[in-house]
Amino acid sequence: MRAVPPVIERRLLPENVRAVTFAKDQPPFLPLPAIVTERGTVLTTWKPTPEELIFLNNGASIFIALLNAVEDSGALKTAMIVTAGPVDISDR
């Protein structure tokens, strides 16, 4: 799946939200457009690839993995993987 800029009706959002793009200039990471609320909630929107759409139309689940790590400074770093269809999570 690929992240796409969130399009959410303003009336459905809390006050004081801002649009951001995480990892905008941080190769090898892909930019992640998002809306961030005042309380720190991050909203993202995803679009399936044509192959994933076939899996979804045939009843596949959406797989979301949040990978968390704490840096020496105490900052929490989170990476997210979103996909549909067969997933291999083995350690290689």
* Residues 14-39: tens digit of each pLDDT: 788 888 898 888 888 888 898 888 87
Q: What is the reported pLDDT for 76?
A: 60
Helix (H, G, I), strand (E, B) or coil at 67: strand
CA distances to 4, 7, 23, 24, 53 from 37, rounded to whole Å, are 18, 14, 18, 19, 30
CB of 34 closer than 8 Å to CB of 20: yes
Q: Number of helices (H) and strands (E) in the chain: give both, helices first.
A: 1, 7
Q: Find which of 8-22, 51-65, 72-86 is predicted with most confidence, using mean pLDDT.
A: 51-65
CA distances to 24, 28, 38, 67 from 18, rounded to whole Å, are 15, 25, 8, 24
The yes-or-no verdict on residue 81 having pLDDT over 60 is yes
Q: What is the reported pLDDT for 92?
A: 43
CB of 6 closer than 8 Å to CB of 36: no
pTM metric for this prediction: 0.63
Q: What is the reported pLDDT for 38?
A: 84
